[in-house]
Amino acid sequence: MRKVKTSLVLLALVVISGAVLATGNLKVNIVPGESEKAVVNVTNAAQSQFEIEIKNENGDIVFYKETKSPSTSYKKVYDFSMLEDGHYTFTVKLDKEMETNILDVSNGKVKVVSERKDVEPLFLFKDDEFRVAYLNFAKENVKFYLYDNNTNQLVLEKDLKSDFAINYGLDFSKMKRGSYDAVIAGEKNFYEYKIAID
């Protein structure tokens, strides 16, 4: 029993360190400029391709760009004079990270209302042990759900709370054979991982 606990603790440390090393590098800075313009500066520690998307309040995409070649930075002046007044989401995605800024556009002038960083959790399933590590930048309440794909029924629901570093494990050695969906869900996003037991 002690050996199993020790291996679970070691596995948890490996999962968390992998999650920390792979994240937290994306930085987005939006500075209102002269008149109806804003300077957007995106940086990342590693060379990556950036996806940039602006959506209106209805969820319609009003601008989309994907950089063609990997880079550590992207800088552009955006002109918001053609946009209607309202709130817009300005999202930058790369690899497993995403930063979303809520912008208020009024008479072409831009103001950043809020910003949010999201990083996909790191899932691991090995030797009938399931682990998930999640950096909860928003510090929102997070729940774990396990669904049986054969019956579409909820097998397990667990409140993982609102800690910044969430680490959760589950022993599948006594579970029946089949496929399962493990889901990590916050207030705004959810992430899914498929598990197959032969």
8 A C-beta contact, residue 63 and residue 91 = no
All residues at 6 or more sequence positions from 152 whose CB lies less than 8 Å from its CB, including other chains: none
How does pLDDT run across 25-54, given as a tens digit for each residue?
788 888 877 767 888 888 888 888 889 999
Confirm whether 27-118 and 121-197 share one CATH topology. yes
Q: Is the pLDDT of residue 12 over 90?
A: no
Q: Can you tell me the distance from the alpha carbon of 102 to that of 30, in angstroms, rounded to the nearest whole number?
A: 11
**pLDDT band at residue 24, thresholds of 50, 70 and 90?**
low
How does pLDDT run across 97-134, given as a tens digit for each residue?
999 999 998 887 888 999 999 999 999 999 999 999 99
Q: Can you tell me the distance from the alpha carbon of 177 to that of 154, in angstroms, rounded to the nearest whole number?
A: 16
* Mean per-residue pLDDT over the chain, rounded: 85
User: Which pLDDT does position 23 carry in this prediction?
Assistant: 53
CATH of domain 121-197: 2.60.40.3080
Task: List alpha helices for 24-67, DSSP H.
Answer: none
CATH of domain 27-118: 2.60.40
Q: Can you tell me the distance from the alpha carbon of 128 to that of 166, in angstroms, rounded to the nearest whole number?
A: 20
Residue ranges covered by each domain of the chain: 27-118, 121-197
User: Which pLDDT does position 11 carry in this prediction?
Assistant: 44
